[in-house]
Structure 1
Amino acid sequence: MRATLMYEAGDVRIENVPDSVIKHPTDALVRITASCICGSDLWPYGSMTRADGPARMGHEFIGIVEDTGSEVTTVKRGDLVVAPFAISDNTCAFCREGLHTSCSHAQANFWDGQAEAVRVPLADGTLVKLPVAADSALIPSLLTLSDVLGTGYHAAVAGQVNERTRVTVIGDGAVGLMAVLSAKRLGAEQIVLMGRHQGRTDLGLEFGATDVVSARGEEGIEQVRELTGGHGTHVVLEAVGNMPAYQQALGVVRPGGVISRVGVPQYEEAPIGFGSLFRHNLRLAGGPAPVRAYIEELMPDILNGTIEPGKVFDATTNLDGVPAGYQDMADRKSLKVLVNP
């Protein structure tokens, strides 16, 4: 079968690899019908060394179950399913607490979904059956349940967004836009989107942002504070992952507020001492999103048309076009690329 491999920064190839097969009785074999390129894939695309490659890529997909192990009971051959980006059994103590990314029984949390097929461990706990056909117009939106919608929603939930909350979202990528949509869904009274790309921020306004601030650094911080009576916002949803974004979050969060980070951190140290978090009773939240915990909650809003998160996909390709898709996203020519193998 064909799959995506990254050899080093800027070097993505589509190659033949051994077919995925059932290895354990709890496995399912899924033929992928829709996948995508994630903003987090761009970090290794910009920095991976050849010593770390080649690596299989992709962690978001929808597909049709082709075969199952003898112990799988919740899905069967022919079912259309969505897979969250982290494997989980959905039954351990952490999963029952909604923390599927810390599942006690998942030996490997992430996988390689930019391919023609994939073996899914712990299929009963991981896969969720979809009540639509593979050619449904809802597929792009349902695919966001695999990662970006659940990640944006996790940021808002971890930040305790509610109808009395003023929110700043840092980052106008797909996750940032899903954080806007999620804050709106939870009733935030004000949502300031900090982003510099008008096509994206326009979509953010459609998703529920009340204000857009394109400036960065101290100028951007000052503009957010002007929009919020000088105090900043109760919650900051940081969807980028670099140090300037974290520093910007510190600058716009209100005393007593929360910084909720879901952008994959590209740094090991961040200020948390007296002069930053401690002095103003600030809290730090977020982390890898347990998107499996949110799928059943969010799916009805997609099925009934209340939300349309699939609008974040602004380009579509097949597997052959994936290398160019990486480059287009890295160059900010595309927001998020949908892949139909």
Structure 2
Amino acid sequence: MVEDVGSEVTTVRRGDFVVAPFALSDGTCAHCRHGVQTSCERGAAWGATDRDGYLVDGGQGEAVRVAMADGTLVAVPGHPDDAMLPSLLALSDVMGTGHHAALAAGVGPGQTVVVVGDGAVGLCAVLAARRLGAERVIAMSRHTARQAVALDLGADDVVAERGEEGVARIEEAHRRRGRRRGARVRRHEGVDGAGDRRDAARWPRRVRRGAGRRRRAADRAACSPTTSRSAAASRRCGSTCPSLLEDVLSGAIEPGKVFDVELPLSEVATAYTAMDQRTAIKTLLRP
């Protein structure tokens, strides 16, 4: 919720409910106009030093000063109820990542999509693939709780095996369905990813059999309760994609289901530990 605005801010006003993407951007440079806010010429990350050498406020506080508010903040119409908060928060990062990965892989109607990784981004990629019209979505997951979330978000099947056994399971499913083409793979790599990165890099090629493409969604350096540091600089945040925001507001999609633990801000260290130990998919912090 916006507490106050500077004299030059024009797109948001006091009292607005806003979504803050994982990075700051001015919204006016060539990169921002092209939809690549992560490459903003004046951009910065929360809690880091901006390009002018000034320290940007971190996002894990009771209040935060937002530089370049007009280009960074996205106002949400009306006053969303508390139940919608997790899904709106997911638009600040993980849903945008999963959505971008699915788009980059060319996911569309009639396709089979394999999502490697059952973290928050991978699970959002399951939802994104279903939303984009994939005929069948296979989630790679070895954790019962995360498998349940994947199925709830639209996965048709879950494959727990990895390596050669995982490939065999997917190929067997294709044979049963009379498929002749390989699956189109969406690869998620990182803390919430597929474990051994060398294995994750090798076996999707066999699954694809030259028929699809795979895209790296995130290479996360650390777990965070509120944001994932993505190496995919070309992705757009979910909150800056009008159709995603509209679908959340209408109830068509609920990416907030990836938040399975809620803690007060004072317990932020516990939130990090829970995700690091994989006892939580994504933790929502409240003041």
TM-score tier, shorter chain, comes to 0.7 to 0.9
Residue 263 of structure 1 corresponds to: 218
Question: Is 1:287 matched with 2:232?
Answer: yes
Q: TM-score, normalised by structure 2?
A: 0.83
Residue 186 of structure 2 corresponds to: 237
1:67-82 to structure 2, matched below 5 A, reads 67-82=4-19
- 1:256 and 1:235, CA in 2 relative to 1: closer, same or farther beyond 3 A? same
Aligned-partner Cα distance in 2 for 1:293–1:138: 14
One-letter identity of the residue aligned with 1:240: E
**In the alignment, which of 246, 253, 258 is matched to residue 208 of structure 2?**
253
Question: Is 1:116 matched with 2:62?
Answer: yes
Residue 299 of structure 1 corresponds to: 245
Aligned-partner Cα distance in 2 for 1:120–1:246: 38
The answer as to whether partners of 1:235 and 1:259 remain within 8 angstroms in 2 is yes
Aligned-partner Cα distance in 2 for 1:133–1:156: 30
**In the alignment, which of 299, 322, 330 is matched to residue 276 of structure 2?**
330
Instruction: Provide the secondary structure at the position in 2 that maps to 1:259.
Output: coil
Residue 165 of structure 1 corresponds to: 111
**What do the CA deviations read for 1:220-244 (whole angstroms, capped 9, x no partner)?**
1221222234867442111223333
- 1:265 and 1:115, CA in 2 relative to 1: closer, same or farther beyond 3 A? closer
- 1:207 and 1:237, CA in 2 relative to 1: closer, same or farther beyond 3 A? same
1:11-50 to structure 2, matched below 5 A, reads none
The answer as to whether partners of 1:316 and 1:340 remain within 8 angstroms in 2 is yes
Instruction: Provide the secondary structure at the position in 2 that maps to 1:74.
Output: coil
**What do the CA deviations read for 1:168-210 (whole angstroms, capped 9, x no partner)?**
1001111111000000000011111101011111211121111
Instruction: Provide the secondary structure at the position in 1 that maps to 2:200.
Output: helix
Question: Is 1:89 matched with 2:19?
Answer: no
Residue 169 of structure 2 corresponds to: 223
- 1:199 and 1:293, CA in 2 relative to 1: closer, same or farther beyond 3 A? closer
Structure 2 portions without partners, runs of 5+? 48-57, 191-196, 222-230
The answer as to whether partners of 1:98 and 1:293 remain within 8 angstroms in 2 is no
Q: Which runs of 4+ in 1 moved over 4 A?
A: none
Structure 1 portions without partners, runs of 5+? 1-63, 267-285
Aligned-partner Cα distance in 1 for 2:283–2:255: 14
Q: TM-score, normalised by structure 1?
A: 0.70
**In the alignment, which of 94, 97, 100 is matched to residue 154 of structure 1?**
100
**What do the CA deviations read for 1:16-52 (whole angstroms, capped 9, x no partner)?**
xxxxxxxxxxxxxxxxxxxxxxxxxxxxxxxxxxxxx
Residue 339 of structure 1 corresponds to: 285
Aligned-partner Cα distance in 2 for 1:96–1:125: 10
**In the alignment, which of 171, 178, 181 is matched to residue 124 of structure 2?**
178
The farther-off stretch of 144-153 and 300-309 is 300-309
Question: Is 1:129 matched with 2:75?
Answer: yes
- 1:323 and 1:262, CA in 2 relative to 1: closer, same or farther beyond 3 A? same
One-letter identity of the residue aligned with 1:337: T
Residue 101 of structure 1 corresponds to: 38
The answer as to whether partners of 1:232 and 1:252 remain within 8 angstroms in 2 is no
Paired residues in the alignment total 258
Instruction: Provide the secondary structure at the position in 2 that maps to 1:237.
Output: strand
**Percent identical:** 48
Aligned-partner Cα distance in 1 for 2:16–2:80: 10
- 1:133 and 1:243, CA in 2 relative to 1: closer, same or farther beyond 3 A? farther
Aligned-partner Cα distance in 1 for 2:41–2:215: 24
Query: Which structure features the higher share of strand residues?
Result: 1
1:96 is displaced (CA, Å) by: 2.2
The answer as to whether partners of 2:25 and 2:71 remain within 8 angstroms in 1 is yes
- 1:232 and 1:324, CA in 2 relative to 1: closer, same or farther beyond 3 A? farther
One-letter identity of the residue aligned with 1:237: R
Residue 2 of structure 2 corresponds to: 65
The answer as to whether partners of 1:239 and 1:261 remain within 8 angstroms in 2 is yes
Aligned-partner Cα distance in 1 for 2:15–2:92: 19
1:295 is displaced (CA, Å) by: 3.2
The answer as to whether partners of 2:239 and 2:245 remain within 8 angstroms in 1 is no
